[in-house]
Amino acid sequence: MGWITTILSGLAVGAAMTIPGVSGGSAAMILGIYDRLVSAVSNIFTEPKRSIPLLLKFTAGAAAGMLLIARLISFLLTTPAEVPLRFVFLGAVAGGIPMIFRKAGVRRITAGTLTLVLVGMCCVLLLSALPEGIFAPGAGGFMSMVVQFLGGILLAAALVLPGISASHFLYMLGIYDSVMEHVSNFELLPLLPMALGAVIGAFLTARALESLIERHPAGTFLVILGFMLASLRELLPQDAGAVQIIFGAPCVLVGFISVYCLQSDRRRNNRKSEKIRDIV
């Protein structure tokens, strides 16, 4: 993969990450760069000459994508388009659930299967129980920066795991609007503690993810599935009236179909690649 393609892939993934419900990991999978990124992050110290150039190019593209799209999203959330947009986000999250279910490879529902899904749901409930805005960027004081750093480590899981939206994770932590406002206004210094935590957390998560998917793929994806199912309620517009909910239903379908179709395209491309390898 050339450096231009790597930067453009980063641009697309960075833009995707600003949209709640759209997983940066899934976008990277669709673009065919996910495995290389996880490997590069996991082996950054053992193979720095191979890993660091790839990550720098990808990060440059991702940063540009986030800065370009964040301003648009922040603007739309201050207009009458806010409620329909949140319904689109809700549908986008739901659209990623079938992919995770397929990755879990579940043939039949058992007590163990349900337990793992419930574990993921309980994780979301515990996060929801945290005081809203506790990880909000920009708060002064050493302890506040430590808390923001810890929030970045939690956020790293959403950055690395496919099917989980980092922006949606920020929603659950109650800091999506404040983070997007800082990004759209190019106020990056207040985001530094969280960004540092995310970098360190991404390295730790990538290593753990490689090991878990290799040893326990079904269990890993079932926990992720529970995470996604429980987090759907966080995207529901809080003050939507009956009319807005009725008109919001088509918006949910738009979000669902968009993400589902992107994943279907990826599966078709994977099957074509497998056929080509078999022929060769």
> How do residues 142-172 score in pLDDT, each as one tens digit?
778 888 888 888 888 777 776 667 777 787 6
Share of the chain above pLDDT 70, in %: 81
Under DSSP, is residue 113 helix (H, G, I), strand (E, B) or coil? helix
pLDDT at residue 5 greater than cutoff 80 = yes
> How do residues 231-265 score in pLDDT, each as one tens digit?
777 667 666 677 777 778 888 888 888 777 766 66
The span from the CA of 89 to the CA of 28, in Å, is 19
Q: Which domain holds residue 116?
A: 3-279
Token output for 95? 């659209």
pLDDT at residue 29 greater than cutoff 60 = yes
pLDDT at residue 37 greater than cutoff 90 = no
pLDDT at 280: 46
Is 224 or 53 the better-scoring residue by pLDDT?
53
pLDDT at residue 48 greater than cutoff 80 = yes
Mean pLDDT for the chain overall: 78
Query: Residue 278: which pLDDT band, with cuts at 50, 70 and 90?
Result: low
> How do residues 62-116 score in pLDDT, each as one tens digit?
888 888 887 787 788 778 777 888 788 778 777 777 877 787 787 788 888 899 9
Query: Residue 3: which pLDDT band, with cuts at 50, 70 and 90?
Result: confident
* Nearest residue to 235 (alpha-carbon basis) of 182, 165, 187, 181: 165
Chain-centre distance for alpha carbon 105: 21
Domain count, the chain: 1
CA dihedral 135, 138, 143, 148 (to 10 degrees): 30
pTM of this structure: 0.62
Query: Residue 1: which pLDDT band, with cuts at 50, 70 and 90?
Result: low
Under DSSP, is residue 165 helix (H, G, I), strand (E, B) or coil? coil
pLDDT at 118: 92
pLDDT at residue 277 greater than cutoff 50 = no
Q: How far apart are the first and last CA of the chain?
A: 20
